[in-house]
Amino acid sequence: MTPVPRPPSDEVRAVLDDLPDGVVLAGGDGRVHHVSAPAARMLGLVAADAPGRPLSEVLRLQDQEGASWCASNSPFQGLATRTAVPEQPWLLPDGSEVLVSARIHRTALSEPVDRVAITLRSGRGRARLDRERSDLVATVAHELRSPLTGVKGFVQALLNRWDKLNDDQKKLMLTTVASDSDRLSRLIAELLDVARIDTGRLQLYPRPTDVAVVTGRVVDSVRAATSREIVLDAPDDLPPVQADPDKLVQVLTNLVENAVRHGEGTVRVTLERVEAQPGAATESATAVRITVQDQGEGIPEELRRRVFTKFWKGGARGGSGLGMYIVGGLTRAHGGHVAIDDAPGGGARVGVTWPVADDA
């Protein structure tokens, strides 16, 4: 016996109309009880005209081969244990994509289908996610290709011309291979850190750390790879900060290298003891501020929030676009704060406030 249709009450219809996703309700007789306002807009029909019509006429969805949703999924047939239709992409009459799922209700396993509830969700969110994944793949492929090409080329040259190369030439090639290998390792570490920051699985091992010593090592390392002048100004009485040393090195390296890559003139790195940033995650009363500034064009105020998003690149000078995203994530994970403003005389100034160890 076919169940008697039970249309939703006025209160339920109002709630369904307020939902962001579209909802279509049908009874066990295969006829529509209600189409919510969002679903009506997606399907291109008048909601008031839908009740009483067959579900196959109202739910005008097709796949890439032209098959309809109702014919492909047969919601009123099949095993009695079947309770749902998983989310699938389908095409609306206007050609745009929606993600469709359904819930199948029975009063008992021995009874026929009592009602079917179908939800329609815009496919724009999935399209955006697909674009982000494509951006990630393109970024990784581009960043991996350059050092891999160098490694392969020099190794092949060494294998083919080993007896014809002198020791200085061999050393130069092997040094380049080692440098490119370090670059690959760093990119992989960045990608892993991005994934851990996104999923909340970032592992930190903080301990009292001499920020002046760590900063000095980072500055010396970057200075050796560039002709740009890098000036470090660090007082002798700075307190130790509470930090995972490896993560602190990663933050500082990204900041200094970004200033060298995207800025102009002298890069100045300054350390100073300050009051903790109001509203920071730590209860520390004091902190150490690390400021990196250049003499370039600076970063417009309207773009400063975007700097800390994934794949943001300022200009066309390369980079993975992940550096500042990692800086923001690692700094916040330590209870610190990062901000961007204008450097005196022009250029960008990035300030990282880090809690000191004795108050952390």
- The DSSP annotation for 182-246 comes to HHHHHHHHHHHHHHHHHHT------EEE-HHHHHHHHHHHHHTT-SS-EEEE--TTPPPEEE-HH
d(CA 334, CA 239): 16
pLDDT tens per residue across span 52-96: 999 999 999 988 888 899 999 999 988 888 899 998 888 888 888
pLDDT tens per residue across span 29-40: 999 999 999 999
Q: Would you say 196 and 244 are in contact if contact means Cβ atoms under 8 Å apart?
A: no
Check which CATH number belongs to the domain holding 78 and give it.
Answer: 3.30.450.20
Q: What is the pLDDT of residue 218?
A: 92
- Look-up: residue for tokens 């500082």? 252
**What torsion do the CA atoms of 183, 186, 192, 196 make, to the nearest 10 degrees?**
-150
Instruction: For residue 5, tell me if it sits in a domain.
Output: no
Residue finishing a domain among 122, 140, 175: 122
Judgement on whether residues 161 and 111 belong to the same structural domain of the protein:
no
Judgement on whether residues 19 and 105 belong to the same structural domain of the protein:
yes
Rounded to the nearest 10 degrees, the angle between the axes of helix 323-333 and helix 245-262 is 150
Judgement on whether residues 55 and 93 belong to the same structural domain of the protein:
yes
pLDDT tens per residue across span 299-312: 777 777 777 777 66
Judgement on whether residues 255 and 145 belong to the same structural domain of the protein:
no
Judgement on whether residues 116 and 132 belong to the same structural domain of the protein:
no
pLDDT tens per residue across span 243-275: 999 999 999 998 998 888 877 788 999 999 987
Residues contacting 146, CB < 8 A, separation 6+: none
d(CA 326, CA 350): 14
Instruction: For residue 360, tell me if it sits in a domain.
Output: no
The number of distinct structural domains making up the chain is 3
Check which CATH number belongs to the domain holding 313 and give it.
Answer: 3.30.565.10
Q: Report, in angstroms and rounded to the nearest whole number, the Rg of the chain calculated over CA atoms.
A: 30
Report the pLDDT averaged over residues 212-219: 93
Judgement on whether residues 110 and 241 belong to the same structural domain of the protein:
no
Judgement on whether residues 139 and 66 belong to the same structural domain of the protein:
no
Q: Would you say 251 and 352 are in contact if contact means Cβ atoms under 8 Å apart?
A: yes
Report the pLDDT averaged over residues 116-140: 75
Instruction: For residue 167, tell me if it sits in a domain.
Output: yes
**Which residues constitute the domain of residue 73?**
10-122
Check which CATH number belongs to the domain holding 166 and give it.
Answer: 1.10.287.130
Instruction: For residue 109, tell me if it sits in a domain.
Output: yes
d(CA 70, CA 55): 8
Cβ neighbourhood burial of 1 (10 Å; 0-12, 13-18, 19+)? exposed
Residue finishing a domain among 122, 148, 176: 122
